[in-house]
Structure 1
Amino acid sequence: MKKSLASLLVATAALIATVPAPALAEGEHVASVTEYVEATVKPWLSDAAVIEAIKAQNATNANLSQGDIDALDNKWRAEIEGNDKPMIDGVLGSALSKFLKGKQEEAGGLVTEVFVMDAKGLNVGQSDVTSDYWQGDEAKFQKSFGAGPDAIYVDEAEKDESTQMLQAQASVTIKDPQSGEAIGAITVGVNLDSL
Protein backbone atom coordinates (compact mmCIF):
# COMPACT_ATOMS: atom_id res chain seq x y z
CA MET A 1 0.00 0.00 0.00
CA LYS A 2 2.80 2.41 0.93
CA LYS A 3 4.61 1.59 -2.30
CA SER A 4 1.54 2.33 -4.47
CA LEU A 5 0.94 5.64 -2.63
CA ALA A 6 4.59 6.61 -3.15
CA SER A 7 4.32 5.65 -6.84
CA LEU A 8 1.16 7.70 -7.17
CA LEU A 9 2.85 10.72 -5.55
CA VAL A 10 5.87 10.40 -7.85
CA ALA A 11 3.63 10.08 -10.92
CA THR A 12 1.57 13.09 -9.82
CA ALA A 13 4.69 15.17 -9.22
CA ALA A 14 6.03 14.19 -12.65
CA LEU A 15 2.73 15.18 -14.27
CA ILE A 16 2.64 18.53 -12.45
CA ALA A 17 6.21 19.25 -13.56
CA THR A 18 5.16 18.93 -17.22
CA VAL A 19 2.44 21.57 -16.88
CA PRO A 20 3.95 25.03 -17.52
CA ALA A 21 3.33 27.53 -14.76
CA PRO A 22 1.93 30.81 -16.02
CA ALA A 23 4.26 33.77 -15.67
CA LEU A 24 1.31 35.84 -14.48
CA ALA A 25 -1.82 34.77 -12.72
CA GLU A 26 -4.68 34.69 -15.19
CA GLY A 27 -5.89 38.20 -15.83
CA GLU A 28 -3.23 39.83 -13.64
CA HIS A 29 -1.91 41.85 -16.61
CA VAL A 30 -5.30 43.16 -17.77
CA ALA A 31 -5.46 46.25 -15.53
CA SER A 32 -1.96 47.49 -16.37
CA VAL A 33 -2.39 46.85 -20.12
CA THR A 34 -5.78 48.59 -20.09
CA GLU A 35 -4.27 51.56 -18.25
CA TYR A 36 -1.46 51.77 -20.82
CA VAL A 37 -3.93 51.62 -23.72
CA GLU A 38 -6.17 54.29 -22.18
CA ALA A 39 -3.25 56.66 -21.54
CA THR A 40 -1.05 56.04 -24.57
CA VAL A 41 -2.87 54.33 -27.44
CA LYS A 42 -6.37 55.82 -27.32
CA PRO A 43 -5.14 59.40 -27.85
CA TRP A 44 -3.83 58.55 -31.32
CA LEU A 45 -6.96 56.71 -32.45
CA SER A 46 -8.60 59.97 -33.48
CA ASP A 47 -5.59 61.06 -35.58
CA ALA A 48 -6.55 61.88 -39.17
CA ALA A 49 -4.05 59.27 -40.45
CA VAL A 50 -6.03 56.54 -38.67
CA ILE A 51 -9.58 57.78 -39.27
CA GLU A 52 -9.15 58.68 -42.96
CA ALA A 53 -7.45 55.38 -43.82
CA ILE A 54 -10.19 53.32 -42.14
CA LYS A 55 -13.01 55.33 -43.71
CA ALA A 56 -11.44 55.01 -47.17
CA GLN A 57 -11.02 51.25 -46.83
CA ASN A 58 -14.54 50.84 -45.39
CA ALA A 59 -15.91 52.59 -48.49
CA THR A 60 -13.81 50.39 -50.79
CA ASN A 61 -14.73 47.16 -48.96
CA ALA A 62 -18.40 47.90 -48.25
CA ASN A 63 -19.72 45.34 -50.72
CA LEU A 64 -17.21 42.52 -50.18
CA SER A 65 -18.76 39.10 -49.71
CA GLN A 66 -17.32 36.49 -47.36
CA GLY A 67 -15.92 34.77 -50.46
CA ASP A 68 -14.13 37.99 -51.44
CA ILE A 69 -12.72 38.34 -47.92
CA ASP A 70 -11.50 34.73 -47.94
CA ALA A 71 -9.84 35.25 -51.33
CA LEU A 72 -8.02 38.35 -50.05
CA ASP A 73 -6.91 36.48 -46.93
CA ASN A 74 -5.66 33.56 -49.04
CA LYS A 75 -3.77 35.95 -51.33
CA TRP A 76 -2.09 37.56 -48.30
CA ARG A 77 -1.08 34.18 -46.87
CA ALA A 78 0.33 33.10 -50.24
CA GLU A 79 2.36 36.30 -50.48
CA ILE A 80 3.92 35.64 -47.08
CA GLU A 81 5.37 32.42 -48.49
CA GLY A 82 6.29 33.86 -51.89
CA ASN A 83 8.79 36.35 -53.30
CA ASP A 84 6.30 38.71 -54.94
CA LYS A 85 4.36 40.66 -52.29
CA PRO A 86 2.35 43.46 -53.94
CA MET A 87 -0.56 43.26 -51.49
CA ILE A 88 1.66 43.13 -48.38
CA ASP A 89 3.97 45.84 -49.74
CA GLY A 90 0.96 48.03 -50.48
CA VAL A 91 -0.30 47.80 -46.90
CA LEU A 92 3.16 48.18 -45.32
CA GLY A 93 3.92 51.17 -47.56
CA SER A 94 0.76 53.07 -46.66
CA ALA A 95 0.76 56.33 -44.72
CA LEU A 96 -1.13 54.59 -41.90
CA SER A 97 1.48 51.82 -41.62
CA LYS A 98 4.25 54.44 -41.44
CA PHE A 99 2.28 56.25 -38.71
CA LEU A 100 1.87 52.98 -36.75
CA LYS A 101 5.55 52.05 -37.16
CA GLY A 102 6.44 55.49 -35.79
CA LYS A 103 4.22 54.92 -32.75
CA GLN A 104 5.80 51.52 -32.20
CA GLU A 105 9.29 53.06 -32.34
CA GLU A 106 8.27 55.88 -29.95
CA ALA A 107 7.21 53.22 -27.42
CA GLY A 108 10.83 52.09 -27.05
CA GLY A 109 10.19 48.33 -27.03
CA LEU A 110 6.94 48.44 -25.07
CA VAL A 111 4.84 47.94 -28.23
CA THR A 112 5.74 44.72 -30.06
CA GLU A 113 3.28 45.15 -32.95
CA VAL A 114 0.35 47.30 -33.94
CA PHE A 115 -2.24 46.91 -36.68
CA VAL A 116 -5.51 48.59 -37.62
CA MET A 117 -8.55 46.79 -39.05
CA ASP A 118 -11.54 48.08 -40.99
CA ALA A 119 -15.21 47.35 -40.25
CA LYS A 120 -14.89 43.90 -41.82
CA GLY A 121 -11.77 42.98 -39.84
CA LEU A 122 -9.37 43.40 -42.78
CA ASN A 123 -5.94 44.98 -42.20
CA VAL A 124 -5.74 48.66 -43.08
CA GLY A 125 -2.24 49.38 -41.76
CA GLN A 126 0.35 47.66 -39.61
CA SER A 127 3.81 48.03 -38.15
CA ASP A 128 4.85 44.49 -39.08
CA VAL A 129 3.47 41.77 -41.35
CA THR A 130 0.63 39.80 -39.76
CA SER A 131 0.20 36.10 -40.52
CA ASP A 132 -3.21 36.78 -42.07
CA TYR A 133 -5.10 39.67 -43.63
CA TRP A 134 -8.53 39.01 -42.15
CA GLN A 135 -8.87 39.33 -38.37
CA GLY A 136 -12.69 39.31 -38.40
CA ASP A 137 -12.92 35.70 -37.27
CA GLU A 138 -10.71 36.29 -34.22
CA ALA A 139 -11.47 37.44 -30.66
CA LYS A 140 -9.28 40.53 -31.09
CA PHE A 141 -11.79 41.90 -33.61
CA GLN A 142 -15.00 40.34 -32.32
CA LYS A 143 -14.46 41.48 -28.71
CA SER A 144 -13.44 45.01 -29.68
CA PHE A 145 -15.26 46.17 -32.82
CA GLY A 146 -18.01 43.60 -32.27
CA ALA A 147 -18.60 44.86 -28.73
CA GLY A 148 -19.19 48.50 -29.67
CA PRO A 149 -17.53 51.92 -29.74
CA ASP A 150 -15.96 51.93 -26.25
CA ALA A 151 -14.70 48.35 -26.09
CA ILE A 152 -11.21 47.34 -24.97
CA TYR A 153 -10.28 43.66 -25.04
CA VAL A 154 -7.05 42.39 -23.47
CA ASP A 155 -6.08 38.87 -24.48
CA GLU A 156 -4.17 36.32 -22.43
CA ALA A 157 -0.50 36.86 -21.66
CA GLU A 158 1.72 34.64 -23.80
CA LYS A 159 5.44 34.06 -24.10
CA ASP A 160 6.71 34.63 -27.64
CA GLU A 161 8.82 31.60 -28.52
CA SER A 162 11.21 33.51 -30.79
CA THR A 163 11.87 36.47 -28.47
CA GLN A 164 11.09 34.83 -25.09
CA MET A 165 9.15 38.02 -24.32
CA LEU A 166 5.95 37.90 -22.28
CA GLN A 167 3.31 39.86 -24.17
CA ALA A 168 -0.41 40.41 -24.50
CA GLN A 169 -2.53 41.89 -27.26
CA ALA A 170 -4.93 44.69 -26.46
CA SER A 171 -7.66 45.46 -29.00
CA VAL A 172 -9.69 48.66 -29.02
CA THR A 173 -12.64 49.77 -31.10
CA ILE A 174 -11.90 52.84 -33.21
CA LYS A 175 -14.79 55.24 -33.58
CA ASP A 176 -15.50 58.16 -35.85
CA PRO A 177 -14.74 61.26 -33.72
CA GLN A 178 -17.74 63.09 -35.18
CA SER A 179 -20.48 60.44 -35.17
CA GLY A 180 -19.18 58.19 -32.38
CA GLU A 181 -19.88 55.21 -34.64
CA ALA A 182 -17.51 52.22 -34.56
CA ILE A 183 -15.54 52.18 -37.83
CA GLY A 184 -12.68 49.76 -37.12
CA ALA A 185 -10.34 48.41 -34.47
CA ILE A 186 -6.70 48.41 -33.47
CA THR A 187 -4.62 45.66 -31.91
CA VAL A 188 -1.46 46.53 -29.98
CA GLY A 189 1.00 43.94 -28.75
CA VAL A 190 2.31 45.02 -25.34
CA ASN A 191 5.62 43.76 -23.93
CA LEU A 192 4.60 42.85 -20.38
CA ASP A 193 8.23 42.52 -19.30
CA SER A 194 8.69 46.25 -20.03
CA LEU A 195 5.29 47.51 -18.84
Structure 2
Amino acid sequence: MRRRLFIASSVSALAGCGPISSALNGNDGVRRALASVETLNHALIGTRGLAREYAERDVDRHFRVNGFATPSDAHYNDLLASNFGRYRLIVDGAVERPSAFSLSRLDALARQTQITRHDCVEGWSAIGKWSGVPLHVVLDAVRPRSDARFVVFRCMDNDGSGTMYYESLNLHQARHPQALLALRLNDAPLDPDHGAPVRLRVPTQLGYKSA
Protein backbone atom coordinates (compact mmCIF):
# COMPACT_ATOMS: atom_id res chain seq x y z
CA MET A 1 0.00 0.00 0.00
CA ARG A 2 1.52 3.29 -1.10
CA ARG A 3 -1.47 5.49 -0.29
CA ARG A 4 -4.33 5.22 2.16
CA LEU A 5 -7.38 7.48 2.33
CA PHE A 6 -8.93 7.94 5.76
CA ILE A 7 -12.20 9.84 5.95
CA ALA A 8 -12.35 11.76 9.25
CA SER A 9 -15.35 13.30 10.97
CA SER A 10 -13.55 16.01 12.95
CA VAL A 11 -10.26 17.85 13.39
CA SER A 12 -9.53 15.72 16.46
CA ALA A 13 -10.07 12.55 14.42
CA LEU A 14 -7.76 13.92 11.75
CA ALA A 15 -5.04 14.61 14.31
CA GLY A 16 -5.44 11.15 15.81
CA CYS A 17 -5.47 9.17 12.61
CA GLY A 18 -1.73 8.92 12.19
CA PRO A 19 1.71 10.39 12.99
CA ILE A 20 1.83 14.17 12.95
CA SER A 21 5.38 14.89 14.08
CA SER A 22 7.73 15.06 11.13
CA ALA A 23 10.06 17.69 9.74
CA LEU A 24 7.12 19.22 7.90
CA ASN A 25 4.03 18.07 9.80
CA GLY A 26 5.34 18.79 13.27
CA ASN A 27 7.08 22.15 12.82
CA ASP A 28 4.72 24.83 14.14
CA GLY A 29 6.50 27.62 12.29
CA VAL A 30 6.35 25.77 8.98
CA ARG A 31 2.69 24.92 9.45
CA ARG A 32 1.80 28.52 10.33
CA ALA A 33 3.61 29.74 7.22
CA LEU A 34 1.87 27.17 5.04
CA ALA A 35 -1.49 28.05 6.58
CA SER A 36 -0.91 31.71 5.71
CA VAL A 37 -0.02 30.82 2.13
CA GLU A 38 -3.06 28.55 1.88
CA THR A 39 -5.31 31.40 3.06
CA LEU A 40 -3.84 33.61 0.33
CA ASN A 41 -4.23 30.77 -2.17
CA HIS A 42 -7.94 30.53 -1.34
CA ALA A 43 -8.33 34.30 -1.61
CA LEU A 44 -6.81 34.32 -5.10
CA ILE A 45 -8.27 31.10 -6.49
CA GLY A 46 -11.18 30.34 -4.17
CA THR A 47 -12.25 26.85 -3.27
CA ARG A 48 -14.06 26.10 -6.53
CA GLY A 49 -11.99 28.11 -9.00
CA LEU A 50 -10.16 26.11 -11.67
CA ALA A 51 -6.40 25.99 -12.04
CA ARG A 52 -5.15 26.98 -15.48
CA GLU A 53 -4.75 24.11 -17.93
CA TYR A 54 -1.93 24.21 -20.47
CA ALA A 55 -1.20 22.86 -23.94
CA GLU A 56 0.88 19.77 -24.76
CA ARG A 57 3.73 21.99 -25.95
CA ASP A 58 4.05 23.45 -22.43
CA VAL A 59 4.68 20.12 -20.70
CA ASP A 60 8.01 19.68 -18.89
CA ARG A 61 9.05 16.24 -20.11
CA HIS A 62 11.62 15.89 -17.33
CA PHE A 63 9.40 16.64 -14.36
CA ARG A 64 11.45 17.51 -11.29
CA VAL A 65 11.61 15.02 -8.41
CA ASN A 66 11.24 16.51 -4.96
CA GLY A 67 10.18 15.52 -1.45
CA PHE A 68 11.18 12.71 0.87
CA ALA A 69 13.23 9.71 -0.25
CA THR A 70 11.51 7.09 -2.39
CA PRO A 71 10.43 4.16 -0.17
CA SER A 72 12.85 1.24 -0.16
CA ASP A 73 11.31 -1.01 2.48
CA ALA A 74 10.52 -4.67 1.80
CA HIS A 75 6.78 -4.12 1.44
CA TYR A 76 7.15 -1.39 -1.17
CA ASN A 77 9.81 -3.36 -3.03
CA ASP A 78 7.44 -6.35 -3.10
CA LEU A 79 4.71 -4.18 -4.63
CA LEU A 80 7.19 -2.80 -7.14
CA ALA A 81 8.34 -6.30 -8.09
CA SER A 82 4.72 -7.25 -8.83
CA ASN A 83 4.33 -4.14 -10.99
CA PHE A 84 1.88 -3.07 -8.28
CA GLY A 85 -0.44 -5.95 -9.10
CA ARG A 86 -0.87 -6.60 -5.36
CA TYR A 87 -1.38 -2.94 -4.53
CA ARG A 88 -4.64 -1.80 -2.96
CA LEU A 89 -5.69 1.74 -2.13
CA ILE A 90 -7.51 1.43 1.19
CA VAL A 91 -10.33 3.91 1.79
CA ASP A 92 -11.90 3.66 5.24
CA GLY A 93 -12.98 5.68 8.26
CA ALA A 94 -16.24 7.66 8.21
CA VAL A 95 -17.62 5.96 5.11
CA GLU A 96 -20.56 3.65 4.45
CA ARG A 97 -18.59 1.41 2.09
CA PRO A 98 -14.96 0.89 3.17
CA SER A 99 -13.12 -0.28 0.06
CA ALA A 100 -9.80 -1.58 -1.24
CA PHE A 101 -9.16 -0.45 -4.82
CA SER A 102 -6.74 -2.24 -7.14
CA LEU A 103 -5.10 -0.18 -9.88
CA SER A 104 -7.27 -1.82 -12.51
CA ARG A 105 -10.41 -1.00 -10.54
CA LEU A 106 -9.31 2.63 -10.11
CA ASP A 107 -8.55 2.87 -13.81
CA ALA A 108 -11.99 1.52 -14.68
CA LEU A 109 -13.89 4.02 -12.52
CA ALA A 110 -13.26 7.06 -14.70
CA ARG A 111 -10.43 8.76 -16.58
CA GLN A 112 -9.42 12.40 -16.47
CA THR A 113 -6.37 14.08 -17.99
CA GLN A 114 -5.15 17.53 -17.06
CA ILE A 115 -2.08 19.55 -17.99
CA THR A 116 -1.49 21.71 -14.96
CA ARG A 117 1.35 23.44 -13.15
CA HIS A 118 2.84 22.12 -9.93
CA ASP A 119 3.88 25.05 -7.71
CA CYS A 120 6.29 24.05 -4.96
CA VAL A 121 6.45 26.02 -1.72
CA GLU A 122 10.24 26.08 -2.26
CA GLY A 123 9.76 28.41 -5.22
CA TRP A 124 9.98 26.22 -8.33
CA SER A 125 7.24 25.07 -10.68
CA ALA A 126 6.77 22.50 -13.44
CA ILE A 127 3.98 21.67 -15.86
CA GLY A 128 2.93 18.04 -16.14
CA LYS A 129 0.32 15.98 -17.94
CA TRP A 130 -1.50 14.00 -15.26
CA SER A 131 -4.03 11.23 -15.86
CA GLY A 132 -6.09 9.27 -13.37
CA VAL A 133 -9.42 9.05 -11.60
CA PRO A 134 -11.15 12.15 -10.20
CA LEU A 135 -11.11 11.99 -6.41
CA HIS A 136 -14.82 12.77 -6.18
CA VAL A 137 -15.56 9.55 -8.12
CA VAL A 138 -13.79 7.49 -5.44
CA LEU A 139 -15.60 9.41 -2.71
CA ASP A 140 -18.93 8.71 -4.38
CA ALA A 141 -18.05 5.00 -4.47
CA VAL A 142 -17.32 4.79 -0.72
CA ARG A 143 -20.13 7.16 0.36
CA PRO A 144 -18.75 9.41 3.12
CA ARG A 145 -21.08 9.54 6.12
CA SER A 146 -23.00 12.72 6.93
CA ASP A 147 -20.55 13.51 9.74
CA ALA A 148 -17.45 13.19 7.49
CA ARG A 149 -15.44 16.40 7.18
CA PHE A 150 -11.90 15.56 6.02
CA VAL A 151 -10.01 13.19 3.75
CA VAL A 152 -6.58 12.19 5.07
CA PHE A 153 -3.97 10.85 2.65
CA ARG A 154 -1.41 8.56 4.29
CA CYS A 155 1.82 8.01 2.35
CA MET A 156 4.74 5.60 2.56
CA ASP A 157 7.32 8.38 2.25
CA ASN A 158 9.04 9.24 5.52
CA ASP A 159 11.10 12.16 6.79
CA GLY A 160 14.24 10.13 7.46
CA SER A 161 13.32 9.37 11.07
CA GLY A 162 10.70 6.80 10.10
CA THR A 163 7.73 9.14 10.50
CA MET A 164 5.33 8.77 7.59
CA TYR A 165 4.07 11.81 5.72
CA TYR A 166 0.39 12.60 5.36
CA GLU A 167 -1.78 15.40 4.04
CA SER A 168 -5.46 16.28 4.29
CA LEU A 169 -8.24 18.08 2.45
CA ASN A 170 -11.66 19.01 3.69
CA LEU A 171 -14.46 17.33 1.77
CA HIS A 172 -15.22 20.52 -0.14
CA GLN A 173 -11.63 20.64 -1.43
CA ALA A 174 -11.58 16.89 -2.08
CA ARG A 175 -14.62 17.20 -4.35
CA HIS A 176 -13.01 19.90 -6.47
CA PRO A 177 -13.38 18.88 -10.15
CA GLN A 178 -9.60 18.96 -10.68
CA ALA A 179 -8.64 16.97 -7.57
CA LEU A 180 -7.18 13.80 -9.06
CA LEU A 181 -5.77 10.44 -8.00
CA ALA A 182 -3.07 10.37 -10.66
CA LEU A 183 -1.88 7.08 -12.15
CA ARG A 184 0.17 8.53 -15.02
CA LEU A 185 2.52 11.44 -15.61
CA ASN A 186 3.36 12.58 -19.14
CA ASP A 187 1.66 9.55 -20.72
CA ALA A 188 3.60 6.98 -18.67
CA PRO A 189 2.67 5.12 -15.48
CA LEU A 190 3.97 6.93 -12.42
CA ASP A 191 7.48 5.85 -11.47
CA PRO A 192 8.53 5.41 -7.82
CA ASP A 193 10.29 8.78 -7.64
CA HIS A 194 7.07 10.52 -8.69
CA GLY A 195 4.79 8.65 -6.29
CA ALA A 196 3.95 5.31 -7.94
CA PRO A 197 1.51 3.78 -8.13
CA VAL A 198 -1.01 6.50 -7.10
CA ARG A 199 -0.48 10.14 -6.26
CA LEU A 200 -2.87 12.85 -5.18
CA ARG A 201 -2.85 15.83 -7.55
CA VAL A 202 -4.46 19.10 -6.40
CA PRO A 203 -3.52 21.83 -8.90
CA THR A 204 -5.41 24.55 -6.99
CA GLN A 205 -3.12 24.03 -3.97
CA LEU A 206 0.62 24.36 -3.42
CA GLY A 207 2.65 21.29 -4.28
CA TYR A 208 2.98 19.86 -0.77
CA LYS A 209 -0.75 19.00 -0.88
CA SER A 210 -0.15 16.67 -3.85
CA ALA A 211 0.95 13.85 -1.56
Taking structure 1 as the reference length, the TM-score comes to 0.31
Say which structure is richer in strand. Answer: 2
Highest Rg: 1 or 2? 1
Say which structure is richer in helix. Answer: 1
Which structure has more relative contact order (CA 8 Å, sep 6+)? It is: 2
